[in-house]
Amino acid sequence: MITVKQIPPELTYDIRHIVLRAGLPRESCFWETDRDAFHLGGWLGVRQVGVATFQPEADPDAPDRPAYRLRGMAVLPDAQGQGVGALMLLSGEDRVRRLGVFQLWCDARIGAAAFYRRYGWEAYGGVYTIPTAGEHYRMKKTLGKTAVCG
């Protein structure tokens, strides 16, 4: 069974490190913005296999509009493709909506762009490279007023 719940930043570091920062120091997974963010963990049964972070940060293209930025979305390789990422994404969207914010954006790895598109995110601009994490698209989503999941 998949469950998603809010977690402290400390419970994001290991999965971020394995999935998103392999070969880099573990400290590269500690982000200053973590203290202002909310973090979700995804479980398959009793095992935590996923993390996602939503931090309040305006979209650089719309600096005056409240927005959340999605960062650090990761599911352990052997647990991918079982619905954990989707449930974390939709749960996070619902939490942002309940906070009264309707704009979301992220820097999406190009390999994950199709995942985000499935859930209504759109890519803007061209491909650009983040030195620690490869090629990305800027992606955005405007949330509707109605929750998708609880």
Which positions touch ligand COA (CB under 6 A)? 19, 73-75, 80-86, 108-109, 111-112, 114-115, 118
Residue 124: CB atoms within 10 A of its CB come to: 11
| 105-123 CB burial, b ≥16 within 10 A, e <16 | bbebbeebbebbeeeebeb
By beta-carbon proximity to ligand COA, the closer residue of 95 and 107 is 107
Question: What minimum distance in Å lies between the beta carbon of 97 and ligand COA?
Answer: 19
Question: What minimum distance in Å lies between the beta carbon of 95 and ligand COA?
Answer: 17
Cβ atoms of 147 and 94 within 8 Å: the answer is yes
Question: What minimum distance in Å lies between the beta carbon of 64 and ligand COA?
Answer: 25
By beta-carbon proximity to ligand COA, the closer residue of 103 and 135 is 135
Cβ atoms of 105 and 47 within 8 Å: the answer is no
Report d(CA 116, CA 89) in Å as an integer: 9
By beta-carbon proximity to ligand COA, the closer residue of 47 and 145 is 47
The residue number whose beta carbon is nearest to ligand COA equals 85
